[in-house]
Amino acid sequence: MRERIAHALGRDADENALRDALKQQPDNVDAAIPLARALLARKCPNDAIEVLDGILLAAPGDLRALNAKAVVLDHEGRHQEAQELYRQALAAEPANPMLRNNLKLSLAFEGKTETHGANPAPQQDGRPFAALSRTSQCGSGSKS
Q: Where are the domains of the chain?
A: 2-78
Q: Which pLDDT tens digit goes with each residue over 60-106? A: 999 999 999 999 999 999 999 999 999 999 999 999 999 999 999 99
* 21-62: pLDDT as tens digits: 999 999 999 999 999 999 999 999 999 999 999 999 999 999
| Element (DSSP H or E) covering residue 46 | helix 45-58
Q: How big is the chain by its Cα radius of gyration, in Å?
A: 16
Q: Does domain 2-78 have CATH number 1.25.40.10?
A: yes
CA 82 to chain centre: 11
Q: Please say whether the beta carbons of 132 and 37 come within 8 A.
A: yes
pLDDT band at 123 (very low <50, low <70, confident <90, very high): very low
